[in-house]
A = this chain, B = another copy of it.
Amino acid sequence: MVIGKQETLLIIGDSVTDCGRAYPIGEGEGNMGNGYARNVQALLDMKYPDRRIRVINMGISGNTSRDLRTRWQTDAMDLKPDWVSIMIGINDIWRKYDQCLHPEMKVDLDEYEKNLRWILETTLPTVKGICLMPPCYMEQNHQDAMRADADRYREKVKDLAKEYGVLYADAQKDMDEYFQYYPAVYMSWDRVHPNQVGHMILARALVNALGFEW
C-alpha cells in the first residue's frame, strides 16, 4: 500500500464525498461523514495502524469541477496532504439537466478537462500521489442522456490519469457489475447518491488503487 508512515490522504469531491462531514475540516471520529471517505479511513487504519495515516474529507455538496478549482488552494493545498483523491464531475453534468433554464450553471466537458488539468498541474509538484475517481451514475442504460454524458466524462478522467501518470480508481465498473443483479434504483433513488453498498464499492475502488490488501 503506497501511503507511508504518518502521511495524510485528502479526499475531495461533491456530495457523494461530503455525506455530512464536519466543517471546516472533516477529520477524526464522527467527522468523516457517512460515505465512502469514512470507510476508506476505517479500512486503512484497520489494516495499517502502524502507519498512523491521517485521512481528511473535504467534499462539499453540490460542487462541480469549477467550484473545486475555486477552493483548491484553501481546501486542498493549504492542508499540505501527501496524497489526494478526487471524485468530481457529476454536478458538472447534472446541472445541464436539472437547471436546464440556467445553462451557465453546467460545466461542459471542455471546461471540465481544463479544470482537472489545472488541479493536477497545481497539485502534482507538492504531493506524493494523486488518485482520480471518475463520476459515477447509477443507471444501467448507457443510452440514457446523463449516463452517456457520465461515460464521456469518465473516459476523460481515465485519459487524464494515464497522461499524468496518476492512480485511477473506477467504481463505475464495479457498480455496473452490481447492476446485473440489482436494479440501479435499489442502489440510488436519484441515480447520483449511492446507498451503503455503493459507498463500500467506492471505498474498495479507492483503497485497491492504493494497493490495499484485506
Instruction: Give me the interface of A with B, judged by CB distance under 8 Å.
Output: 6, 29, 32, 34, 38-39, 41-43, 45-46, 49-50, 52, 54, 94, 97-98, 100-101, 141, 143-146, 174, 177-178, 180-183, 185-186, 189-190, 195-197, 199-201, 204, 213-214
Partner of A100, one of B41, B186, B201, B204: B186
The closest CB in chain B to the CB of A207 belongs to: B214
- Which residues does chain B contribute within 8 Å of A101, judged by CB atoms? 6, 52, 54
Copies per complex of this chain: 8
Name A's interface SS: helix
- Which residues does chain B contribute within 8 Å of A186, judged by CB atoms? 97-98, 100
Q: A141-B143, A145-B183 are in contact. Are A196 and B38 (CB under 8 A)?
A: yes
Which residue of A29, A144, A195, A199 has the most chain B CB atoms within 10 A of its CB atom? Answer: A29
Q: Are A200 and B43 in contact (CB under 8 A)?
A: yes
A29 to B49, CA, bound (A): 30
The closest CB in chain B to the CB of A8 belongs to: B101
Q: Are B29 and A185 in contact (CB under 8 A)?
A: no
